[in-house]
Amino acid sequence: MAPATWPAAYAAILSALRAALDVPVLDADDDLGAGGDLRAAVVLGTDTGDEGRCGVFAQEYHDLGATATRDDIGTIDAQVFAQSGGDDLAPLRAAAFDALADVESALRSGITLGVASALRIELSGGDVFQGRTEDGTFVEVRFQLTYTALI
């Protein structure tokens, strides 16, 4: 038995999003290629600035005894971003949140995504950033995907 569901949940989410979304879905530091206008992309396993930290998990005993199981709850950090060389933020916000809606739909299509120990995998919250730079405009939604499992 795996000591945590986190790696299996990460792999299942990455696979499900790549199969379901019409925008690029990157695994952490995958290269998207040249810059420019990008209506939306999803990055799973986003480095949150803590030297590569891209998620957390925690556990506690669910019951007691020789065959005791544990509650395993984890979070995978991700982001949706959209950018443009223009100066209009509204279409970028729409594109970012459309991609986020597609993420949620993909997760709802199978709440465990085939992870045997998972009880559910869901979108659990996020932070929204937007702005203008010398290169144009951007919208970024950093969000968390949370799994609950019994191991």
Tens digit of pLDDT for each residue in 72-99?
A: 999 999 999 899 998 899 999 999 999 9
Q: Which secondary structure element, helix H or strand E, spans residue 16, and what is its range?
A: helix 6-20
Total domains in the chain come to 1
3-state helix, strand and coil shares in percent for the chain, rounded to the nearest 5? 25, 40, 35
Q: Is residue 1 part of a domain?
A: no
The answer to whether residue 129 sits within a structural domain is: yes
- Any domain includes 80: yes
Mean pLDDT for 97-124 is 94
Looking only at Cα atoms, what is the longest distance across the chain? 62
Tokens linked to 68:
């005791």
* Domain membership of residue 58 as a residue range: 6-150
* 134 within domain boundaries: yes
| Rounded distance between C-alpha atoms, residue 126 and residue 145, angstroms | 9
- Residue 35 pLDDT greater than 60, yes or no: no
CATH code, 132: 3.30.2000
pLDDT at 1: 64
